Structure 1
Amino acid sequence: MSEPTTPSLPVTFRPGRTRAVLLTVGLAMFVVITVVALMLERLAPGERVSFVFTAALFLGVLVLLSRPKVVADDEGVTVVNITRTRRLAWAEILRVNLRPGDPWVFLDLSDGTSLPALGIQPGIAKESAIRDARALRALADSRGAGVEAGG
């Protein structure tokens, strides 16, 4: 097996296909529900507004679900999950894990905890997620505490 190449920094890992599907479906749902609300002649103005508001809520949820990413730069890694963002120094990351069956990458941290990194997930694009996980692992091994701690 070949050694994974270390990407040049800064680099952003993001589930591109999943994001495209979520945003496309969200936008399509918003348009369809809004058009239906405007075409139904029997609806009162308040009911039309409630249809559009509901469509906006659906779109908002799908936008939140499409938000995850992992950004690596010279100083460390920023993990953006659905509602939270966490900045980590390279020394805090001991190991990058993507085991068979895992829904996304997990980062083992120096404080003894594990942080899910939803920006690398094998859902629709498994090969891309494996490649991204290997690249992030190579970066963490070359820059972080994993080198001193022995993994």
Structure 2
Amino acid sequence: MMRLMTLLIISMLFLYGCSVSSKPATYGEEAANFAYELSATSEQISTLFYDAADSETARTELETILISMKNQITAFNKTQAPEQMSEWHRELVEQNRHALQNIDDYLTAIENNTYTDNLKTDPGLPRQVNVIQSIAKNIENDEKK
């Protein structure tokens, strides 16, 4: 529960900081920040994946964080990319779609009480987050050219 509170506080501080920035973020910066936050959240939940098979508390915390990740991805997908970044954005949204599917699979398993040891070793979501992070870095680098 402490991790959840920390995550929420960090997210709120980040969102507040973005809203008072004097210079709007570029699409590349936005994509990189999105991927960084997603990666940080993914790392935080890795231990919860293992604990959730045996602990109702861990399952509840995992579910809350997965819903937060899902909302974060959905919000980013609505971002309007500049024309020169439209192909990158389509690719990022496609990978986000795969991550959302992984999240939905976990949420369904938690909801149906079918979360098992098999799910905790499934590399789907962490792999997707790595792909998303890689694309976001490419976007940011491409934008700086």
Q: What TM-score do you get using the length of structure 1 for normalisation?
A: 0.30
Q: Choose between structure 1 and 2 for higher RCO, CA contacts under 8 A separated by at least 6 residues.
A: 2
Structure ranking higher in helix proportion: 2
Q: Which has the higher strand share?
A: 1
